[in-house]
Amino acid sequence: MKELFADHITSLLKRYEQALARLADADGVLIHSGREESYYADDQAPPFRAFGHFCQWLPVDRPQQAVLIRPGRRPVYLQVVAADFWYDQEIAIADWWAGAFDIVTLRSSAEFAAHLPAPERLAFLGEQRSLAAGLGIPERLVNPPALLHYLDYWRASKTAYEIAQIGNANRLALKGHAAARSCFLEGGSEYDIHMAYLGGCEITEPQCPYTSIVAIDAKAAILHYQHKRHQRYPDKKSQVLLIDAGTRINNYCSDITRTTARPGIDICFESLLRGMEAIQQRLVAQVRPGISYLDIHHSALQQITELAITLELITCQVDTAMALKLAGLFMPHGVGHLLGLQVHDVGGHLAAADGSLRPAPEDSPFLRNTRTLTEDMVFTIEPGFYFIPMLLEPARNTMQGQHLNWPLIDALSSLGGIRIEDNVRVTADGVENLSRQ
């Protein structure tokens, strides 16, 4: 781990040196982790999550921390450990990462100024503009677009250390998914399944990278379903579980979705689930350097259309179905997104490091990644097939609706839907599936 992290820091120093070359009037960068904020008119705060560009340097997730980067010098970690008897303020320092930094321990961010060289020539990255102003950093160098575009673009390319953390986060999450599946098959509620997942991973809910989606039956058609119902199924009458849940290791995320159907479920839905699992694995197999992520998304829509025709959910030929965009009624989201320090990591629509964009196509406005694939990119592949009344009902009496098998759709709607999601890395000549290790 120590060698991996040292190489990671060396790579980041080179990247930041190249990024700073785009700013004529900055010799370094101060990155702030962020500040803790309370709910409105309250003294309670939501769980803190540090700024992604800070987290790339340090496996620390605490407010009011900073790292100072200057080309040709060791990075400086300005570690704030407040004097506080209400909360534990200790920050664990591990040998595997501490040796890469000069560490300066302070009592508050007000002490940063004494350790900053020429603040008028420092760029500042972070949300707290007032802190930057108080330190004497010019407004034009606070989150300068030229710097952020470059860093956001290259964050898609992961170091060996970053890939290892995402791989570890996948392995941990898969333990939780196994526990969740067992709980579902035993008749557990959404709440029970959620707690089984946390127990399988040995984590608390704030340690999840996002609010886990634990959806039984019709709720699986709500893409970001947020609740955890307490209704149990002692007679095992629940039919479908869709669980989308991950973990974080040293600030790096996993994001895995599995759909489980109870034995004896409707034969068409069972065939749909098996078909979607096969499609997902074929899409993963398409990954290699040089192809566009858009091609994978379009392949997903094509294969989902063909599966729906085979199962007689769609009643026209493939060409007609594609022209009418019928697959979009069943999979309204994109086939995946960049993954790393954030679940939906930055830079998915950047075409180049200068900030130029390649937006999502009009027929797939929710696609989060349009990049051309390069070695060591990490992203998700997550095709889905859902029976969403909000999308299907308006189409019932339209040109699209004429080519849908409504009796079969109505019969399957109570089962919600399907999503299968893995986290994959682009290798030199293909793909590594980090979720199937």
SS3 readout for the chain = CHHHHHHHHHHHHHHHHHHHCCCCCCCEEEEECCCCCCCCCCCCCCCCCCCHHHHCCCCCCCCCCEEEECCCCCCEEEEECCCCCCCCCCCCCCHHHHCCCEEEEECCHHHHHHHCCCHHHEEEECCCHHHHHHCCCCHHHECCHHHHHHHHHHCCECCHHHHHHHHHHHHHHHHHHHHHHHHHHCCCCHHHHHHHHHHHHCCCHHHCCCCCEEEEHHHHHCCCCCCCCCCCCCCCCCCEEEEEECCEECCEECCEEEEEECCCCCHHHHHHHHHHHHHHHHHHHCCCCCCEHHHHHHHHHHHHHHHHHHCCCECCCHHHHHHCCCHHHHCCCCCCCECCCCCCCCCCCECCCCCCECCCCCCCCCCCCCCECCCCEEEEECCEEECCHHHHHHHCCCCCHHHECHHHHHHHHHHCEEECEEEEEECCCCEEECCCC
Per-residue tokens: 371: 């990049």
Q: Are strands 256-261 and 417-419 parallel, antiparallel or unpaired?
A: unpaired
CA distance 61 to 34: 10
Q: Diameter of the chain by CA atoms?
A: 72
How high is the pLDDT of residue 236? Answer: 83
Scan for tokens 């707290």, then name that residue. 128
Backbone φ and ψ for 402, nearest 5 degrees, come out as -65, -20
Per-residue tokens: 81: 């450990």
2-154 topology per CATH: Creatine Amidinohydrolase; Chain A, domain 1 (3.40.350)
CA 89 to chain centre: 28
How high is the pLDDT of residue 104? Answer: 97
Backbone φ and ψ for 159, nearest 5 degrees, come out as -80, 170
Dihedral sign for Cα atoms in the order 382, 386, 390, 393: positive
Amino acid at 252: Y
Buried-exposed string 340-374: b where 16+ CB fall within 10 A, e elsewhere: bbbbbbbbbbbeebeeeebebeeebeebbbbbebe
Model pLDDT for residues 2-57, shown as the tens digit of each residue: 999 999 999 999 999 999 999 999 999 999 999 999 999 999 999 999 999 999 99
How high is the pLDDT of residue 437? Answer: 80
CA distance 415 to 411: 9
| Domain 160-433: assigned CATH number | 3.90.230.10
Q: pTM score > 0.85 for this model?
A: yes
Q: Which residues of the chain have pLDDT under 50?
A: none
Amino acid at 47: P
How high is the pLDDT of residue 17? Answer: 97
How high is the pLDDT of residue 270? Answer: 98
Q: Where are the domains of the chain?
A: 2-154, 160-433
